[in-house]
Amino acid sequence: MPRSGPQLPQRIAHFDLDSFFVAVERVDDPALRGLPVLVGGRGGRGVVASASYEARRFGCHSAQPMAQALRLCPQAVVMPPRFERYRAVSRAFHAILRDVSPVVESGGIDEAYVDLTGVGLDAGGALAAAQRARKRVHGELGVSVSACIAGSRTVAKVGSDRAKPDGLIELPPGGDAAFLAPLPVRDLPMVGPKLAERLHAVGVRTIGEAAALDARWLEARFGQSGLLLHERARGIDPTPVHAGGRDVKSVSREVTFGTDVTELDELRRALHRHAERVGADLRHAGRRARTVTLKLRWSDFETVTRSRTLERPCESTAALAQAGCALLDMLWRGSGRRPVRLIGLGASNLVEDSVQLGFADLAAGERAATRRSPLRDERLDRAVDAIRARFGEDALSRGA
């Protein structure tokens, strides 16, 4: 048998758009360049979704209460988020990456992993491909992107954070562990605040110090997390890049009200808006939900959830809203009209978008022109999706 050629070293890149929401706002309004900018809600419960580097120098950051950010940086310009615009730029960003490699996995609206193994004809092929992608993102979209090329996705993610803003790092094959060693152990994506605190308590502050510990000791002390830490700290991560992303497990939407809500009709309207978003996400992913979940947070921060498993998996806005409102009515009757701070709607227990139609469905389909049916709702939703995809999210709105 002929021998196969030498195995190519794995080259995984992580691309991360810098201050993405702010960057898009600056593309549309160049007067914002150089100014401290915050994207988020201005209300009493508004939260920072994105902060420019100028604002970060004052201590502002994402997920921070807007009121606190403005106390730190009162001169900041606050822009309301425009998520449909950000999604459009995100789609273009991911399309550029797919021109570089067919193996692209989205990590969110502003980041992606790309397998560059074997791209190009020489050892510099991965670097050249990353440089081309960054040049196109900047030239075509007007935003900057930081990236790192490494031997695994974990190290590429850590490296892209180190490359910010607007930088590119390439680690040589076999150089992942040496790159990680001097960095704080908290830089590893798997190390949260609690695990970092426990590691600090035993004298581990850098990733290199974690890598030097005995795997059996780490397992005894931290369980499976300890074994995972031992691998990741040495730059070992066998997780492949999944073309097209990972399977969607659940879809949800929630909103925190500016002031507590005590009117059932207003809560119902919020659920209908959530149902539109969740339904569109399900249809886009080619999934149906067997389970619908309602989430309520009362004004005293107590949070409750209720779920309902459906007889027929659904993807339609109407079915999701109906299930959510039924759960809301049940909770509301026993709540004593407690003020609501947050309401959310989730869809889980997802299945492929292929269901067996029964006689009732077929009969309903024949009567669709004169009587409401699940099939009619689904056709209506898909028509609405197509119009919004072409003309924008605000092209259509549903009546009450």
Q: Can you spell out the DSSP letters for 231-286?
A: HHHTT---PPP-TT-PPP--EEEEEEEEEEE--HHHHHHHHHHHHHHHHHHHHHHT
Give yes or no: residues 219 and 336 share one domain.
no
Residue 352 has what pLDDT?
Answer: 77
Residue 8 has what pLDDT?
Answer: 75
Q: Is the pLDDT of residue 186 over 50?
A: yes
Q: Classify strands 168-170 and 145-150 as parallel, antiparallel or unpaired.
A: parallel
Residue 354 has what pLDDT?
Answer: 52
Q: Classify strands 251-261 and 340-352 as parallel, antiparallel or unpaired.
A: antiparallel
Whether 127 is in a domain gets the answer no
Report the catalytic residues: 111
Please count the CA atoms within 13 angstroms of the CA of 87 that sit on its side-chain side: 8
Quick one: pLDDT band at residue 306, thresholds 50, 70, 90? very high
Give yes or no: residues 257 and 330 share one domain.
yes
Quick one: pLDDT band at residue 144, thresholds 50, 70, 90? very high
Of residues 299 and 390, more confidently modeled: 299
Residue 246 has what pLDDT?
Answer: 60
CA distance 397 to 377: 15
Helix, strand, coil shares of the chain, percent, nearest 5, are 45, 20, 35
Residue 365 has what pLDDT?
Answer: 44
Quick one: pLDDT band at residue 392, thresholds 50, 70, 90? low
Give yes or no: residues 218 and 259 share one domain.
no
Mean pLDDT confidence for 314-318: 90
CA distance 167 to 172: 17
Whether 128 is in a domain gets the answer no
Mean pLDDT confidence for 300-325: 91
Whether 75 is in a domain gets the answer yes
Q: Is the pLDDT of residue 373 over 60?
A: no
Lowest-pLDDT range of 23-37, 99-113, 153-167, 378-392: 378-392
Give yes or no: residues 227 and 305 share one domain.
no
Q: Is the pLDDT of residue 314 over 60?
A: yes
Lowest-pLDDT range of 295-309, 336-350, 359-373: 359-373
Give yes or no: residues 280 and 360 share one domain.
yes
Count of structural domains, the chain: 3
CA distance 36 to 20: 14
Residue 369 has what pLDDT?
Answer: 40
Q: Is the pLDDT of residue 165 over 80?
A: yes
Domain extent, residue 280, equals 251-394
Residue 364 has what pLDDT?
Answer: 44
Lowest-pLDDT range of 107-116, 198-207, 238-247, 278-287: 238-247
Give me the percent of the chain exceeding a pLDDT of 90: 56
Residue 122 has what pLDDT?
Answer: 59
CA distance 3 to 387: 55
pLDDT tens for 215-235 read 999 888 888 888 899 999 999
pLDDT tens for 55-107 read 999 999 988 899 999 999 999 999 999 988 999 999 999 999 999 998 999 88
Q: Classify 185 as helix, strand or coil.
A: helix
Whether 380 is in a domain gets the answer yes
CATH code of residue 331? 3.30.1490.100
Give yes or no: residues 389 and 259 share one domain.
yes
Mean pLDDT of the chain: 85
Whether 240 is in a domain gets the answer no
Domain C-terminal end among 59, 82, 105: 82
Q: Is the pLDDT of residue 359 over 50?
A: no
Give yes or no: residues 193 and 280 share one domain.
no
Give yes or no: residues 279 and 224 share one domain.
no
